[in-house]
Structure 1
Amino acid sequence: MATFIIVDDHPLARLAIRMLLEKEGHRVVAETDDGSAVMALVKQHRADVLVMDIDLPGIDGIEATTLLRSAGIKIPVVVMSGKNPDYYTQLSIKAGANGFISKQKDLSYLTHAVNAVFSGYGYFPLRMHHSDEPSDSDSERLGLLSRREFEVLKHLADGREISSIASLMQLSNKTISTYKARLMEKLGLKNQRDLLEFTRRNNIS
């Protein structure tokens, strides 16, 4: 039996994760819906594994993982997200997570991730899936984007204009235009048509 901390801002998601873990004989020692509370909970409960969503109030799961690693805390972290799995797999790896589960898949994949972590391995199935693809694959190119660039990409995929994105992100039009130029270059996109096709192909919105 292992002990777990669950971090997710959706009560039903936390309940589903808890039920799955308890069915496997594990015990959940703490839950929260706030990324800002993660550090304190980890220090207080000394759990074996942290299961954490990316979209959280306070600070998100990627930033929380980065802060844990910066503090020298080595608790295994399994990150979950319903957003673009290719991109967030890359971000999770960079932050120091031990596994990534897409919420677009069956929750039972969490069991595989937990087993892998306990065996001393990382669990990044999408990375394994793409391992034979060329270096310029969509997944690897998405991994080159900064979080700001990816945020701009999502807004562009939704059909927003530069001025609208600037207002939403509270940045200048020039800054957003710079982000757009950088992400277009990193993704190897030449025009708006290429951009829309890329975002459609990768389910980015």
Structure 2
Amino acid sequence: MTATILLVDDHPIIRAGCRRLFGDAGLGRVVEAEDAGGALALWRSERPDIVVLDPDIPGPDGGMGVMRAMLAENAAARVLVFGGRGGGQGGGQGGGYGDPAVAAGALKAGAKGYVAKNSALDTLLSAVGRVLAGGIHLDHALARDLALMSLSPPPDPLAPLTLREREILGLLGRGLTAAAIADSLGISRKTVANACTQIKDKLGADGPRALVRIAIDAGLAG
């Protein structure tokens, strides 16, 4: 039985090129949408075997919102994200598949693969074929960078603080009052109060309780 491919992109030239590419390769029948509303309407009426989706289409939540809606209706939906630009030769990060953070977000949201728009034609054809066959398209370079991202330490939420501010935050987390902190560190209460204000501003905390919670979560209150 001939597969149905739902191609979602707001650029007519890209849709025309993909339609011809898929047709020449005999991958299946192509139906097209240019925005979120049209994509969901065709998804429900055509029940395509695969969706090739630009994440930047017009709509309240863009292509990712469309994909979430599809997966909510059918958890087995096959969506291949086709967007952005890869780094390319002399380009930015991510080699031929684009920003690894964007690709990781798409895969985490439920996509069966990610292909950048400046990838080789064979890459797109291979990805569509693999997803149609029930697999997942994961470029070797993408897999490598995603692995490196997972091994990278998480960003330090307390990075904006000075060493003294970290010290004061830790004492707050242990339940010390401003007076007790001043006595412990040999500084004035005014200095402690000013430091607490700076810490709240830097961390976006709305009060002393929030600072205590931040200190505990960061392991400073032990």
Q: TM over 0.5: same fold?
A: yes
Identify which range, 12-21 or 107-116, moves more after superposition. Answer: 107-116
Please tell me whether the aligned partners of residues 100 and 146 of structure 2 are also in contact (alpha carbons under 8 angstroms). no
The CA deviation string for residues 80-117 of structure 1, in whole angstroms up to 9 with x for no partner, is 11154311111111221111101132233111112221
SS at match of 1:130: helix
CA separation in 1, counterparts of 2:154 and 2:124? 26
SS at match of 1:108: helix
CA separation in 2, counterparts of 1:48 and 1:91? 22
The CA deviation string for residues 44-101 of structure 1, in whole angstroms up to 9 with x for no partner, is 0122111110111114111111111122253311111115431111111122111110
* Counterpart selection for 2:63 from 36, 54, 61: 61
Please tell me whether the aligned partners of residues 66 and 95 of structure 1 are also in contact (alpha carbons under 8 angstroms). yes
RMSD over aligned CA atoms reads 2.8
TM-score of the pair, normalised by structure 2: 0.57
SS at match of 2:100: helix
Please tell me whether the aligned partners of residues 6 and 28 of structure 1 are also in contact (alpha carbons under 8 angstroms). no
- Seen in structure 2, the aligned counterparts of structure 1 residues 69 and 132 have a Cα distance that, compared at 3 Å, is closer
CA separation in 2, counterparts of 1:135 and 1:73? 25
CA separation in 1, counterparts of 2:134 and 2:33? 26
Provide the residue aligned with 1:46 in structure 2. 47
2:67 maps to a residue whose letter is T
SS at match of 1:55: coil
CA separation in 1, counterparts of 2:154 and 2:84? 20
* Counterpart selection for 1:88 from 86, 102, 120: 102
The answer on 1:135 being equivalent to 2:153 is no
Provide the residue aligned with 2:130 in structure 1. 116
CA separation in 1, counterparts of 2:150 and 2:30? 42
CA separation in 2, counterparts of 1:107 and 1:18? 12
SS at match of 2:82: strand
Q: Which has the larger radius of gyration?
A: 2
- Mapping of residues 1-205 of structure 1, within 5 Å: 1-58=2-59, 59-72=61-74, 74-83=76-85, 84-125=98-139, 126-130=141-145, 133=148, 135-137=150-152
The CA deviation string for residues 158-202 of structure 1, in whole angstroms up to 9 with x for no partner, is xxxxxxxxxxxxxxxxxxx96xxxxxxxxxxxxxxxxxxxxxxxx
Where does structure 1 differ by over 3 angstroms across 4 or more consecutive aligned residues? 131-137
- Seen in structure 2, the aligned counterparts of structure 1 residues 74 and 38 have a Cα distance that, compared at 3 Å, is farther
Identify unmatched segments of 5+ residues in structure 2: 86-97, 156-202, 205-222
TM-score of the pair, normalised by structure 1: 0.61
Identity of aligned residues (%): 29
